[in-house]
A and B are shown apart, each in its own frame.
Chain A
Amino acid sequence: MTSRQKTAASVANYVDERTGAAAWMKKNLTKVFPDHWSFMLGEVALYSFIILLLSGTFLSLWFDPSQREVLYQGDYQPLSGIKMSAAYASTLHISFDIRGGLLMRQIHHWAALLFMAAIVAHLLRVFFTGAFRKPREFNWIIGVGLLTLGIVEGFLGYSLPDDLLSGTGIRIAEAIIQALPVVGSYLSFFAFGGAFPGEAFIPRIFTVHVLLLPGIFLALITVHLMLVWYQKHTQYPGPGRTEKNVVGYPLMPIYMAKAGGFFFIVFGITAFLSAVASINPIWLYGPYTPGQISAGSQPDWYMGWLDGLVRMAPPIETHAFGHTISWNILIPGLIVPGILFTGMALYPFIESWLTGDKREHHLLDRPRNAPNRTALGAMSLTFILVTLLNGGNDIVATHFSLTINQIMWFSRFGILILPPIAFVITKRLCLSLQRADRDVVLHGVESGTLLRLPTGEFVEVHTPLTAEQSWTLTQHEQRPALELPEEDNHGVARGKVLRNKLRSRMSRAAVEEVTKPNSDDMKEIEGH
């Protein structure tokens, strides 16, 4: 033993005698994780969150969360002598006078956009591969919670500088609160401490933005990761991979290095973007006053779908019993998002209900082998893309020589017509891919070698797949549709007829598939 090893051993021993960490570390440092690029999307979100904590702490050292009116006397001349809130003035101060302040602001904002983008990308990976199935339903719900909180946290964050754009966003939030029937106006007065804008909302959202929500985030992210640890990571199907094992590399040293390195890469790319690309130039927007507005006012992208929904809503209001119900805000601003997020959170339960599959799954689905789910995902994505397009309708209009009205009408119909079309097309594509898989398994891959037979006939030589390749393409199970008898054993009609009919129908749709080849098929084509 060299002296260095001796020192290390004695330190390790010292710690172990007091904490008993060695046994725990031995078990957990060798924990195996499967390797795939798509498993790193969630990591991007996690690392962006750490970047957000670090840069946010830096910003909070100088940010003054107050709507006290001040006269700007700082370095940015185009605003010199303008009345503004202390929040806005301190953000200008951070941007122009604090060393590295503007870079930190931009890192914070770009990291926030990346955080949300990575969450959505991670969610799509989890959805399309069926990673949310038992036993991971809770983690799916936590994920949906993190997405929802992320939207709120981001919105509150870009509202804090109290510039013209963010104030416009707060005003829309106020309108959405007010659209709640009966309690809306009271809630709005409660939230803003009186009539809009008042002087309360910046200090209030500051507390929520830097204390309450980050605390909840930390707790939820911890639980999210502990569950991944406890339930072990899912893996893509392949030879040697089963529901009872995990094939991959140990945490120490492979993933320590990979994940640790990846953190710095994420930080590096965020810092690079922040150094070369401007984001939220609040000095150009000017301070918020309710009497001003800019053309092309937009929320950040993760709120864009909501803005798009509100923008496409037809102007419908009802007046009854001295109350006005603004359906044009209530439906797109609260009801549709409520349905979307509730549906998303409950999806694992809906799917297991209609497939009747209550077993544990640790092997992921190839998206083509779950055509219904994949098609549903494509349908939801199409829905969101239409709303996003309409959310940016004024920018799209000016940059592509279209009219806002055309885009609005396209969206109004498109939101209803395009998602079902996307569903059908995606489902057909999945089935075609299954058919292609079947062909490749049965007939091998076209080798490009032409062979002339003695009879003069030309044939192309097909190279058969290896056993491993065939396994990967055929390992998935194909379950029959649910059989829900309409009568029980005694010939009595079962209750809930409609519900069962619906369930049977959806179950039949869910199992629609191209039969995968089996050994009989292989035998049959032998000699062909």
Chain B
Amino acid sequence: MKSLSRYRKHRYASPLLLVFALFMIGTTFSVASASTKESVNFARSAAIDEGKQIFLKGCSSCHGLNAEGGKIAPSLIGVGAASVDFQVGTGRMPMADMTVQAMRKKPAYTAEEVAALAVYVASLAPGPAIPGDEILTYERDGNTAQGGELFRTNCAMCHNFAGQGGALSQGKFAPTLMGVEPKEIYEALITGPQSMPVFSDKIITPAEKLSIIKWIKAAEVEPSLGGAALGRVGPVTEGLLIWTLGLGLLIGIAVWLATKAR
């Protein structure tokens, strides 16, 4: 080592060492970082694979082996993770009955399986992503009154003034919005499930979407201020009540009043 130490004070020693050190750091970093990326890629492809397996078993008979769609089901290429999360996460897919529209029911897959399916479908082509908590800040950023105005303009025509749902043609219907998760409302807005149109961010901005969600959530917990709400469906139940309970009670009393005292 004497020979090496001899060059210790060589005038090129410092620059060379610097270059060497830089090289080592760079190599270590690149090796280390490459291995993380590798593992992320690995996990992602594993999820895609898992999602694909689930897809092949549960969905492909209608949507096609490569999600390209078929005679009875649309292509899923480009529908995005949000769409999968909404349709499968709320139990609408797989459909139990294809006659009218997909019904909300107990989900057939666990949350992990839904996530895997979403990753798989998202990997086919870019599409709307699942809105995370960092987007769904409706409690902080939403404006209830503005949301109500937007709701009445864009949503009430199908979902009724209080979000109770309403009838569409041929037995289709807009479901009630009471008890629907904010994430699901947001996903429905950006993906337009069933008969619902897509409300893109250009038509209703993300901030406005949050306002709508805030209004729906407020309507959900709003106490019935005037007494029993009667379903919040308008005058039909009111008319029914006056003819049954109202006039019924009064006729009963009239019969009693006209009965001869014995």
Which positions in A face B, CB cutoff 8 Å? Answer: 35-41, 44, 77-82, 95-96, 102, 106, 110, 113-114, 117-118, 121, 164-165, 258, 261-262, 265-266, 269-270, 273-281, 283-286, 291-302, 304, 392-395, 397-398, 401-406
- Contacts A78-B144, A286-B149; A280 near B235 (Cβ below 8 A): yes
Interface of A is mostly: helix
Query: Per-position contact with A for B150-192: 1 when CB-CB < 8 Å, else 0?
Result: 0011001111111011111111011000000000000000000
**Chain B residues in 8 Å Cβ range of A165:** 161, 234-235
- Whether the Cβ atoms of B149 and A118 lie closer than 8 Å is no
- Whether the Cβ atoms of B254 and A106 lie closer than 8 Å is no
- Whether the Cβ atoms of A82 and B149 lie closer than 8 Å is yes
- Whether the Cβ atoms of A277 and B230 lie closer than 8 Å is yes
**Chain A residues in 8 Å Cβ range of B171:** 397, 401-406
* B26 vs chain A, min Cβ distance (A): 59
**Chain B residues in 8 Å Cβ range of A164:** 152, 156, 161
- Whether the Cβ atoms of A300 and B156 lie closer than 8 Å is no
- Whether the Cβ atoms of B173 and A397 lie closer than 8 Å is yes
Specify the chain A residue showing the minimal Cβ separation from B222. A78
Which residue, of B145, B229, B236, B249, has the highest number of chain A Cβ atoms within 10 A? B236
Kindly specify which of B105-113, B201-209, B240-248 makes contact with the partner chain: B240-248
**Chain A residues in 8 Å Cβ range of B228:** 276-278
**Chain A residues in 8 Å Cβ range of B219:** 78, 284
B44 within 8 A of A: no
Q: How large is the interface on B (under 10, 10 to 19, 20 to 34, 35 or more residues)?
A: 35 or more
- Whether the Cβ atoms of B161 and A284 lie closer than 8 Å is yes
Specify the chain B residue showing the minimal Cβ separation from A96. B225
A37–B256 Cα distance when bound, in Å, is 8
Instruction: Show 30 A/B contacts (Cβ-Cβ < 8 Å), sorted by A.
Output: A35-B258, A35-B260, A36-B258, A37-B251, A40-B254, A81-B145, A95-B225, A102-B225, A121-B247, A165-B161, A266-B250, A273-B241, A273-B246, A279-B238, A280-B238, A292-B152, A292-B153, A293-B156, A294-B156, A295-B159, A295-B165, A295-B166, A295-B167, A296-B236, A300-B238, A301-B239, A301-B243, A403-B171, A404-B167, A404-B168
Which A-B residue pairs are the 10 nearest by beta carbons?
A295-B166, A301-B239, A278-B226, A403-B171, A294-B161, A394-B167, A40-B254, A37-B254, A113-B242, A397-B167
* B71 vs chain A, min Cβ distance (A): 24
- Whether the Cβ atoms of B253 and A262 lie closer than 8 Å is yes
- Whether the Cβ atoms of A279 and B226 lie closer than 8 Å is yes
| Neighbour of A298 across the interface among B236, B243, B249, CB < 8 A | B236
- Contacts A37-B255, A79-B148; A113 near B166 (Cβ below 8 A): no
- Whether the Cβ atoms of A82 and B238 lie closer than 8 Å is no
**Chain B residues in 8 Å Cβ range of A82:** 145, 148-149
A297–B157 Cα distance when bound, in Å, is 9
**Chain A residues in 8 Å Cβ range of B5:** none
B77 within 8 A of A: no
- Whether the Cβ atoms of A398 and B258 lie closer than 8 Å is no
